[in-house]
Amino acid sequence: MTRQPDPSHVHHDQPEHAPRPPSFWRSRAGVYLIVALAAGGLLLGFEHRVHILGSGMLIWLPLLLCVGMHFFMHGGHGGHGSHGKGNDE
């Protein structure tokens, strides 16, 4: 009969949470891309403001913003995988 090692005394070589690589959006290229997209969006909106404001489609903007925020912001709190765990942080 062989004796099993006690699991509380087992040494793990790797830490429980390995460091993640930095996010693309926080890198220099990501910041440049955000600035370029914002500047392009502002210029495009300025050039086409008559069509945007006069079309009557502006009323749908709050709905589109809500859907977009729901879609993009689920990564901030663990996404859908953390439902039912009890901590809402």
Query: Could you give the residue ranges of the DSSP H alpha helices within 1-89?
Result: 28-47, 49-54, 61-72
Task: Give the CA distances from residue 87 to residues 11, 20, 40, 74, 78, in Å, rounded to whole numbers and listed in that order.
Answer: 29, 22, 40, 15, 11
Whole-angstrom distance, CA of residue 49 vs CA of residue 16: 52
pLDDT tens track for 59-75? 888 888 888 888 887 66
Confidence of residue 54 (pLDDT cuts 50, 70, 90): confident
Report field, pTM of the whole predicted structure over 0.85: no
